[in-house]
């Protein structure tokens, strides 16, 4: 994407990852604004559904606080309308990114849902410093819902639901805690 570019979805369109691709990656450029989009995982695993910036050499992130990248009303679905798989839904590497109304959901009901059907390890990974999230909703991921590695970040209203492994038809769920049967 070019600097100061706006990507605005009208009617909350869905971008579905096909063949394990990354549907959208934002380069290390200032002033990008993405709003009103839904990212759906496809049937082949994608490493990430939306990647903001890149990891610079030495593990540092690149960003420009005067013209931040902003994501507003951006949603992620792993399963629900159809089977889907992704390792990470949202990866934020750019310093000073603004996140507003972000919902990352690994489906616990709907089509293509099951512990081994709609797999996703992590909902949101924040590597950038000074990232601000207002309205961050992350649910049901199989590893971590959020991994926040950046410094001086803030969240204003965070909603989180851990994954619950339910018994699938024909299978018995393993006990999560306590004594093993038998």
Q: What residue segments make up the domains of the chain, in order of their start?
A: 6-54+68-161
pLDDT in tens, the chain (182 residues): 778 899 999 999 999 999 999 999 999 888 999 999 999 999 999 999 999 999 764 454 555 568 899 999 999 999 988 999 999 999 999 999 999 999 999 998 887 798 999 999 999 999 999 999 999 999 999 999 999 999 999 999 999 999 887 655 555 444 444 344 44
- Cα–Cα dist 118/106, whole Å: 7
Q: Which residues pair with 102 in a beta bridge?
A: 74, 136
Q: Which contiguous run of DSSP H or E holds residue 146? A: strand 144-148
pTM over 0.85: yes
Helices (H) and strands (E) in the chain, counts: 0, 12
CATH 2.160.20.10 fits 6-54+68-161, yes or no: yes
Catalytic residue from among 139, 151, 161, 168: 161
161 is catalytic: yes
Residue that the structure tokens 């200032």 belong to: 30
């Amino acid at each position: 994407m070019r600097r100061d570019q706006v990507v605005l979805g009208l009617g909350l369109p869905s971008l579905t990852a096909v063949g394990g691709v990354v549907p959208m990656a934002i380069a290390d450029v200032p002033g990008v604004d993405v709003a009103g989009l839904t990212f759906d995982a496809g049937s082949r695993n994608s490493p990430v559904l939306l990647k903001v910036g890149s990891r610079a050499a030495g593990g540092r992130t690149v960003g420009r606080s005067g013209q931040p990248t902003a994501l507003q009303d951006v949603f992620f679905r792993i399963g629900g309308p159809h089977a889907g798989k992704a390792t990470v839904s949202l990866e934020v590497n750019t310093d000073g990114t603004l996140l507003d109304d972000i919902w990352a959901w690994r489906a616990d009901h709907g089509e293509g849902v099951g512990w081994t059907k709609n797999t996703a390890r992590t909902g949101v990974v924040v590597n950038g410093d000074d990232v601000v999230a207002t309205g961050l909703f992350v649910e049901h991921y199989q590893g971590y819902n959020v991994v926040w590695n950046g410094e001086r970040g803030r969240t204003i209203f965070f909603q989180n639901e851990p994954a619950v492994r339910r018994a699938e038809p024909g299978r018995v769920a393993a006990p999560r805690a306590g004594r093993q049967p038998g």
